[in-house]
């Protein structure tokens, strides 16, 4: 059996506007780091790294935004959703 965490994170019964990335979503009971006894041991480290990296990036490039003229190219992976690359404007 395989649990599709990325799909659970878009469950419209749990999340309002489930398909939208809302960075300050509250409450946000997502499964990106799993759940229960196998909950990701690296979750606090990953959260801290993301916080530091995003803060530094936005301080350096305050006008950073997605270049919506470029098509999104999804990375082919059943378990983790992402992009091959993301064009941005500075
Ligand atoms: C954004 C980054 C990360 C994501 C999305 C992520 C996601 C996950 C998920 C979904 C699980 C649960 C797998 C399952 O239930 O079978 C997991 C487990 C685990 N993760 Fe992560 N992880 C990340 C980063 C890290 C990092 C940086 C470390 C180590 C420094 C780490 C160490 C582990 C370990 C050791 C487990 C197994 C826990 C167990 O089975 O008891 N992860 N991770």
| Ligand 1 centroid, distance to 38 Cα (angstroms) | 8
Would you call 83 helix, strand, or coil by DSSP? Answer: strand
Specify whether the backbone of 36 is left (phi greater than 0), alpha (psi in -120 to 50) or beta: left
Distance CA 23, CA 21 (A): 6
40 Cβ inside 6 Å of ligand 1: yes
If pLDDT is split at 50, 70 and 90, which confidence band does 62 have? very high
90 Cβ inside 6 Å of ligand 1: no
Are the C-beta atoms of 87 and 67 separated by less than 8 Å? Answer: yes
How does pLDDT run across 3-30, given as a tens digit for each residue?
777 788 889 999 999 989 898 999 999 9
- Please give the model's pTM, rounded to 2 decimal places: 0.86
């Amino acid at each position: 059996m395989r649990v599709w965490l990325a799909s659970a994170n878009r469950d419209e019964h749990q999340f309002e506007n489930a398909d939208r990335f809302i960075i300050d979503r509250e409450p946000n009971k997502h499964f990106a780091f799993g759940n229960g006894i196998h909950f990701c041991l690296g979750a606090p480290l990953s959260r801290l790294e993301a916080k530091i990296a995003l803060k530094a990036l936005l301080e350096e490039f305050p006008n950073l935004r997605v270049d919506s003229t470029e098509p999104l190219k999804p990375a082919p992976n059943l378990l983790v959703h992402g992009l091959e690359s993301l064009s941005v404007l500075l």
